[in-house]
Amino acid sequence: MSNELKLERPLIVFDIESTGIMPQRDRIVELAVLKIYPDGRTQSTVRRLNPEMPIPPGATAIHGITDDDVKDCPVFSIIAEKLYNYIDNCDLCGYNITGFDIPMLEAEFKRAGFEFKVDDRKVIDVYNIFCKLYPRTLSAAYEFFCGKPLEGAHGAAADTAATFEVLLGQFAKHPELPRDTAGLAEFSDLLGADAVDRTRRFKWSGDEVVVNFGKNAGRTLRELAANDPGFLRWIVRSDFSDEVKNIANDALMGKFPVRKNAQNEQQAQP
């Protein structure tokens, strides 16, 4: 270990693969832990876990873990106490752990009867460090890709010209980038294959659409339309995008989105 990293107590670097992104609904299917001690010693372990629920195809497409891969693995509650003790009195490190891994781990521990807290730990999020070191402003991008400071930033004319120069600079530094508009549009889409609308209020979970925010996160549109239509009516009359309102309104009328691949399969059937 590099002596540039000074530790007062062990550091747990960890990563989670799961059935989805909603801590209250989804479950861990793989957990990797690297424990680094102040004296430089390290211990590394990886455990796969049975999530006690089907792994959606969209999740498998990301991490490659299938239901068959974990059917004989232990459930989280079996390893909870040992893991809790192993990471006790340790600081935490990971990539985007504040936004995903920590909430997921907290939820799993809570279901297993353990109160996992991070208040008394140092949390190092490498993703946040990356964002601070490399700001995502147009001025920063212009200086990085074009090699000079952006004059007149935040003026509309200067910004539009600079944006196109940045795109050309990206071509120069990254020859692997597509050169056609369709390819670039696909490459620049950060919504992901599970997004139903552009604001990500709804997302795909398998072939069902689920809510992606608030107290009803993880509940399917179909179930809400049948058992809690008031929530969908609230969406329709509230300050959401027209796209989101239309999805909610259609669900109230018994019309639900069909995933493209599922639609294609249906059309292919005789």
Q: What is the pLDDT of residues 160-196, one digit of tens each?
A: 999 999 999 999 999 999 999 988 988 887 666 788 9
Q: How confident is the model at residue 263 (pLDDT cuts 50, 70, 90)?
A: very low
Indicate if the pLDDT at residue 260 is higher than 80.
no
Residue 231 is inside which H or E element, if any?
helix 229-237
CATH topology classification for 11-129: Nucleotidyltransferase; domain 5 (3.30.420)
User: What pLDDT, on a 0 to 100 scale, did the predictor assign at position 264?
Assistant: 45
Angle between helices 242-252 and 229-237 (to 10 degrees): 150
Amino acid of residue 157: A
Please check whether residue 124 is in contact with residue 99, taking contact to mean a CB–CB distance below 8 angstroms. no
Measured in whole angstroms, the distance separating CA 5 from the mean position of its chain's CA atoms is: 28
Q: How confident is the model at residue 82 (pLDDT cuts 50, 70, 90)?
A: very high
Share of the chain above pLDDT 90, in %: 70
| CA distance linking residue 125 with residue 119, whole number of Å | 15
Phi-psi label, residue 167: left if phi above 0, alpha if psi -120 to 50, beta otherwise: alpha
Tokens describing residue 34 = 């690297």
User: What pLDDT, on a 0 to 100 scale, did the predictor assign at position 188?
Assistant: 85
Summarised one tens digit per residue, pLDDT across range 187-244 is: 887 666 788 988 889 999 888 999 988 889 889 999 999 999 999 999 999 988 899 9
List the chain domain ranges: 11-129, 138-187, 202-268
User: What pLDDT, on a 0 to 100 scale, did the predictor assign at position 179?
Assistant: 95
Indicate if the pLDDT at residue 127 is higher than 60.
yes
User: What pLDDT, on a 0 to 100 scale, did the predictor assign at position 95?
Assistant: 95
Burial state string for 97-130 with b = 16 or more CB within 10 A and e = fewer than 16: beebbbbbbbbbbeebebebeeeebeebbeeeee
